[in-house]
Amino acid sequence: MSKARTCIICGEQAKSAEHIFPAALGGRRTNRGIYCADHNRQFGRLVTRLQRQLAMMNAALEIRPDREDKPKPF
C-alpha cells in the first residue's frame, strides 16, 4: 500500500508530476507528489519568468526545454 503524498507547501493532496529541475531549464527527470496542482502551477509561472531571463545563456549553452528539439533563440 502506497502512502498518500501531500504538497510540501500546503499539505493538500499532491498528484501532479513535477520536474525535479525545471523542464524550462533543461530538466528531464520528474517526480510525483511534491506539490498540489495549484502550487505546481504557481511554481511553473515563476520558472517561466526565470526561463525568459536566462534565454540567452540557455541558447549559448544549448540547453533545451524538455519538449523541444532546438534551444529557443534569444
Q: Give the pLDDT confidence score for residue 11 in this predicted structure.
A: 92
Asked if 73 contacts 56 with a C-beta cutoff of 8 angstroms, the reply is: no
- Residue 45's pLDDT is 87
* pTM for the full predicted model: 0.58
pLDDT in tens, 13-70: 988 776 666 665 666 666 777 888 898 888 888 878 887 887 788 788 887 665 555 5
Q: What is the pLDDT of residue 74?
A: 47
Better-scored residue on pLDDT, 3 or 34: 34
